[in-house]
Amino acid sequence: GLSRYMRRDALLSSDVFCAEKLLVQCEVQFHMIDNVLQEAEPPFVREDSYDEKSVHHISIVVNAGHLLWTILSEKSPYFHKIVVRDRNTVISMFDEMEYKAFDVIVKCIVSGTDPSMHGLSMQKVFNLYEYSDYVLLAEFKEMSRDIIKERMTAKIACNVIAMADMHGDADLKKFAIQYAMEHWRKVTASKSWNILNKERPDLAKEVKECRVAKNEPQIKRRKKVLETETEYVEQFQYYQ
């Protein structure tokens, strides 16, 4: 329960990465108890004694790594399995994308505030989205998804479509496709559109068919013929 009392706004990510121990300021409240058997063993040893009717601030030295892993395991089933079930705080080496995303997550956790993603490049926001999805940190995935939607442009729309499709994010994929419909000329003139056609022709075809369905309402009459093809039916339902 120590993490619930720590002053996260006073910590820096460098403390977590570089220091073996952190000096944490805790506010401790002492309460009278009726039955001495209710008294539990203290979670730490302190030399000073205080009046039980008083409230005091004391300093405790804790293991920085343990503190970080404890918080991560509370937020993510992925880290919960590593830390709690496997009793391990050693994970595989980070690649550059994962490290940058993890750095943003740690800065947010130790400061107790939302990450300042508005100052991040789109590539770093993409990294955060993908890594959050991988380690099952839903709140960070949602925050990065919101930033992607806010900063959507014709240049990145196809990248977002491909990324959302890969991660099974129907909401983000639908948003990106609808954006592409509204800015069709700019999107199809972008470099990412050429890459999508080359690397994911099936996905490019899906986007084109959505475009046709939007511009030619009569195509919707084909829906009955395609009832067994769920994928196509869903595409046409976007524009009902």
Q: Which residues contact 217 (CB under 8 A, 6 or more apart)?
A: none
Residues 137 and 82 in one domain: yes
**Within-domain flag for 182:** yes
Tell me, what's the pLDDT at 205?
93
Tell me, what's the pLDDT at 163?
96
Phi, psi at 27, each rounded to 5°: -105, 120
In one-letter notation, the amino acid at residue 16 is V
Residues 109 and 162 in one domain: no
**Within-domain flag for 4:** no
Question: Residue 206's Cα: distance from chain center in Å?
Answer: 27
**Where does the chain have alpha helices with state H?**
13-18, 64-75, 77-80, 96-111, 122-134, 138-150, 157-166, 170-182, 184-188, 191-199, 201-215, 230-237
Residues 145 and 193 in one domain: no
**Within-domain flag for 120:** yes
Residues 82 and 160 in one domain: no
Residues 133 and 192 in one domain: no
Euclidean distance between the first and final Cα of the chain, in Å? 51
pTM for the model: 0.61
**Within-domain flag for 5:** no
Neighbours of 210 (CB within 10 A): 20
Residues 119 and 138 in one domain: yes
**Within-domain flag for 24:** no
The DSSP letter of residue 97 is H
Residues 103 and 57 in one domain: yes
Angstrom CA distances, 85 to 3, 20, 131, stand at 20, 23, 21
Of the ranges 58-67, 80-89, 141-150, 223-232, which is most confident? 141-150
Residues 52 and 113 in one domain: yes
Determine the structural domain holding residue 203 and report its residue range. Answer: 152-213
Model pLDDT for residues 179-205, shown as the tens digit of each residue: 999 999 999 999 999 999 999 999 999
Q: Which of the four pLDDT bands, split at 50, 70 and 90, describes residue 62?
A: very low
The DSSP letter of residue 223 is G
**CATH assignment of the domain containing 185:** 1.25.40.420
Place of tokens 């205080």: 50
In order, the DSSP letters of 121-136 are: -HHHHHHHHHHHHHTT
**CATH assignment of the domain containing 142:** 3.30.710
With residue 27 as reference, give the H or E element that holds it.
strand 21-29
Residues 141 and 206 in one domain: no
The DSSP letter of residue 162 is H
Alpha-carbon gap, residue 232 to 169, rounded angstroms: 17
Contact 146/114 with Cβ under 8 angstroms? no
Residues 117 and 140 in one domain: yes
Alpha-carbon gap, residue 112 to 6, rounded angstroms: 10
Q: Which residues contact 144 (CB under 8 A, 6 or more apart)?
A: 117, 125, 126, 128, 129, 132
Residues 122 and 111 in one domain: yes
Model pLDDT for residues 75-94, shown as the tens digit of each residue: 888 888 877 777 776 665 56
**Within-domain flag for 80:** yes
**Within-domain flag for 220:** no
